[in-house]
Amino acid sequence: MIRHATHHLPLLALLLFAQIAVGQDHIKMMQYNLMYYTDNSGISDCNSSTNNLANKDANIRTIFHHVMPDVFCVCEMGTSLTYVERLLNNAINTDGIDYYRHGPLTNYSGGNIANMIYYDSRKLTLYKSDFITTSYRDINGYTLYLNSTDLATGDTIFVTFWIAHLKAGSSEANANARYAQAQRLMDKIESLGAPGNYVVSGDFNLYGASEPAYQEFINHSNSLYRLYDPIDKEGEWNNNHVYAAYHTQSTHSYESAGCFASGGLDDRFDFILVSPYIYYGSKEVQVLPNTYYALGQDGNRFNGSITSPANNSIPTNVANALYNQSDHLPVIVDLEFNARVGIADRSCAFMARVNNPVQDQIVLKMQTEEPDEYTFEIYGMDGKLLGAHQEILTDGAHTLYLPLNVAKGFYLLKVSNSKHQQQILKLIR
């Protein structure tokens, strides 16, 4: 229960609040399963005629230049640098653009498809790469740093993008294979011993949140390395109209020759998940609320195609390119570097986040490293304390609902623990 009081926040905290601002650098990320960008798909009717690379180049060029992502992560890239550079030169660095670069290619697990990353070299630089071999295909990690104005003094921000293409198929054996791949990835991330800014994306082939692979991602045993779904849409996605707005496969509703799966859009196979540090924005990078979406998915496609009924959410040429390019839709999210949606004590044993605007209650997401008693105080812009709440929380992830009986305007939420560590969050009512 919120209790009302009349004392004021110290002047220093108000000054800190006044400095809360929008992040300095905006990064748009897109994840896309290209559907066999190769001459050798391994499928008899998925060949140079039915999956022509010149046509794919034209379609990807239309899609890419419509979105203009700063980071472009892809699955089902051919396992030769010839294909990696072809896509760069024929679809990305075109129409006067020449500043995108790609990462190194690996294929140590074998097979005929791999992962790749492309990035805007004006904004980002590749620092290092890593890979994990699995029974099916490599999982790739690419660490990029921001070309910040402080780079000359050695100050910048790092983000690692992990790209995974998990085993396809609805059988229990395939689900177990996906779980094994997810375990390899999470164990690898934890073994690096530096929890922080990382994004995990790809074609996960997951049918529902109950699958062990998904649970390994979001409920990993070490809470500092768990992943978060930016749109918080955990459920049984397969053939479920409740999740129609989030389905990414298939763009085709009927059986067709070549590579395309049929059945229409009824699966959420493609994901972008983020670390707790990016979810909460506690290490200079934050995923921006309400920016995650599947391109062309307007929620009216359940068991239908991306083009029928008519799709008014994107230009017709983009809808046609999505239809002809792949049986998956790309997923997109925005990241803010140097994000300052709140001021935090850098030694904090907890992270807190709230999505603005808020209504009659504050939905507060928290990740705590240890059990403690927490105090939640709401202040007006004049520093007056409007209400407070105390609660004992265990370690782990929590969602709290705090009532907010105030007029429309700007407010401040101060979260603190018994060690006097604190985080100050901006509220917009």
Q: What is the DSSP string of 411-428?
A: EEEEEEETT--EEEEEEE
CA 325 to chain centre: 22
- Lowest-confidence region among 128-142, 320-334, 341-355: 341-355
pLDDT at 130 over 60: yes
**Tokens encoding 219:** 């409920």
Rounded CA separation 194/390 (Å): 31
- Lowest-confidence region among 90-104, 160-174, 220-234, 402-416: 402-416
- Tell me the per-residue pLDDT of 263-305, one tens digit each, with 9 for 90 and over: 999 999 999 999 999 998 878 898 988 899 999 999 999 999 9
Rounded CA separation 138/125 (Å): 22
* Cβ neighbours of 224 (radius 10 Å): 15
Predicted TM-score of the model (pTM) = 0.83
pLDDT for position 5: 44
**Tokens encoding 367:** 């990740």
List phi, psi (to 5°) of 390. -125, 145
pLDDT for position 317: 97
**Tokens encoding 113:** 């498809």
Rounded CA separation 247/397 (Å): 26
pLDDT at 342 over 70: no
CA 398 to chain centre: 20
Q: DSSP strand E in 283-347: where?
A: 285-287, 293-294, 331-337, 342-344
Tell which phi-psi region holds residue 179, choosing left (phi > 0), alpha (psi between -120 and 50) or beta.
alpha
pLDDT for position 98: 96
List phi, psi (to 5°) of 288. -85, 130
C-beta of residue 427 within 8 angstroms of C-beta of residue 378: yes
List phi, psi (to 5°) of 134. -135, 180
Round the average pLDDT of the chain to a whole number and report it. Answer: 89
Rounded CA separation 39/214 (Å): 32
Rounded CA separation 140/185 (Å): 9
Least Cα distance to 355 among 286, 277, 268 occurs for 286
Rounded CA separation 218/209 (Å): 9
pLDDT at 404 over 90: no
Rounded CA separation 308/304 (Å): 7
pLDDT at 4 over 50: no
- Tell me the per-residue pLDDT of 156-209, one tens digit each, with 9 for 90 and over: 889 999 999 999 999 999 999 999 999 999 999 999 987 889 999 999 999 999
CA 196 to chain centre: 14
